[in-house]
Amino acid sequence: MQNLDSFVEVAKSAALLAGQHIKDQKNKDLEILLNEGRDIKLQLDVDAEKIIKEYLSLNSVFPILAEESGISEKIDQLYWVVDPLDGTSNFLRNIPISCVSIALMNNLEPILGVIYDFNNNDLYFAHNESQAYLNDAKIYVSSTSLKSDATLVTGIPAKKNYLDEEFKNMIADFQSWKKIRMIGSAAMASVYVASGKADAYSENGIFLWDIAAGAAIVKSAGGKVSLQNFTSDYRVDATFTNQNISS
């Protein structure tokens, strides 16, 4: 396999191309393809994903698992995971918390991640043999050790029905943290942990493409990553911390 540095460059270029296309569509009349329940999909999601997939396919041989189009071909040991626009609802409502997310997986382990926060022109990236970066600067997780001093970023997965017990447990957990944030983008939540802006991220039943790139970046930034309970529709229970806090 080629050096992971080269694949980081491939993913960075793909993310920048898609991010620029997304920025070009800001404040335009966006076509909504789906708006049902808690899910929303734009034509822009599909178009940005096509840009990414075409670039990855031209510059690598790995199959691609993408949010909008699914699996490009049979998944092998190494494969790309793509979320062309994480935070679609935020983008549609002009809330500037959204990004492009691209990961390279080795079976069920994210080994490379690139996240382009196009709203701030910030590019986060790392692989499992490198440190984590925000643009040209190295980033690290926080040193906070107590939940009572810490910020947890989380979310509520987009599904139709929730058990009362789920919310009861969630609220009980919330009370042990200093601050709770729900920002509408799991990928951005991940890089907030990686760069020390937050201390932990946790969400159950989140899609793999939402958190795969962030997992790789958090780990390279010195954090702890837990991905459990993978399902056949690519959902996973994800927890990222700064190592000092047990979530």
Q: Which domains does the chain have, with CATH numbers?
A: 4-138 (3.30.540.10), 147-241 (3.40.190.80)
Average pLDDT of the residues in 16-29: 92
Average pLDDT of the residues in 172-185: 92
Do residues 153 and 198 make contact, with C-beta atoms less than 8 angstroms apart?
yes
Range scoring the smallest mean pLDDT among 108-112, 167-171, 220-224: 167-171
Strand order in the sheet with 179-182: 179-182, 151-154, 200-207, 235-241, 224-228
Q: Is the pLDDT of residue 45 over 90?
A: yes
Q: Is the pLDDT of residue 118 over 80?
A: yes
Burial class (CB in 10 A: 0-12, 13-18, 19+), 58: exposed
Which pLDDT band, with edges at 50, 70 and 90, does 78 fall under? very high
Which pLDDT band, with edges at 50, 70 and 90, does 159 fall under? low
Site of tokens 């909008």: 68
Average pLDDT of the residues in 101-114: 96
Q: Is the pLDDT of residue 10 over 70?
A: yes
- pLDDT of 5 reads 93
Q: Is the pLDDT of residue 223 over 80?
A: yes
178, amino acid identity: K
Which pLDDT band, with edges at 50, 70 and 90, does 30 fall under? confident
- pLDDT of 247 reads 60
Average pLDDT over the chain, rounded to an integer = 92
Range scoring the smallest mean pLDDT among 40-44, 213-217, 233-237: 40-44
